[in-house]
Amino acid sequence: MIRRTALPDDEVPLHFEGISLKPWVLVVGWPLGLVCAVEGVVLAGRASGFAVELIGVIAAGLGGLTIVALLRCRRFEIVLGARLLTVGAGPLLRRVPVGLIDSVQERTAASWRRLYSDRELVVRLTVGDRVMVFPSNDPQEFMAAMESRRLD
């Protein structure tokens, strides 16, 4: 579903992708987050010393953070409109005017982007040496939409 805040009301997207986290991320992340949160609470509750209690609180916090991240960032969205490019997952959105895009390249995904896709797009902006890198399941379609927008 396209978010209401992704584009202005009068704009229809030229390209849209909603990329879910890979299944292995969910299979590993959910049990790890739940176990870490529960064990952290138990450890903090039964601790006999400050250091053990602190470790329990940190473990519970990390487990809770993992669960929240799996819920909020479960889908990465790319919305290319005539005026704006909006990319992001959950509360982590980034908007750039399409007029600032200088070039787009495709490459093998690296870093956190592998959690969503095997390919990624590198978007170079005309402002300074700024670069946006984000995952994409259909980079050729994105580049075709960019090209058709430039021809208009």
pLDDT at residue number 148:
80
Res 13: pLDDT: 86
Average pLDDT over residues 7-17: 75
Residue 5 reports pLDDT greater than 70: no
Query: 3-class DSSP state for residue 80?
Result: strand
pLDDT of 134 higher than 90: yes
Instruction: Give the model confidence (pLDDT) of 18-71 as tens digits.
Output: 999 999 999 999 999 999 999 999 999 888 889 899 999 999 999 999 999 999
| Cα separation, 88 vs 96, whole angstroms | 12
Q: Name the nearest CA neighbour of 121 among 151, 90, 92, 78.
A: 78
- What CA–CA distance (Å, rounded) separates 125 from 29? 34
- The phi and psi torsions of 7 (rounded to 5 degrees) equal -135, 155
- For position 150, what pLDDT does the model report? 67
User: For position 133, what pLDDT does the model report?
Assistant: 94
What's the pLDDT at 83? 87
pTM over 0.85: no
pLDDT tens-digit readout, 83-94? 889 999 988 999
* Element of type H or E holding 124: strand 119-125
The SS3 call for residue 5 is: coil
First to last CA, the chain: 27
**CA–CA dist 89, 97 (Å, integer):** 18
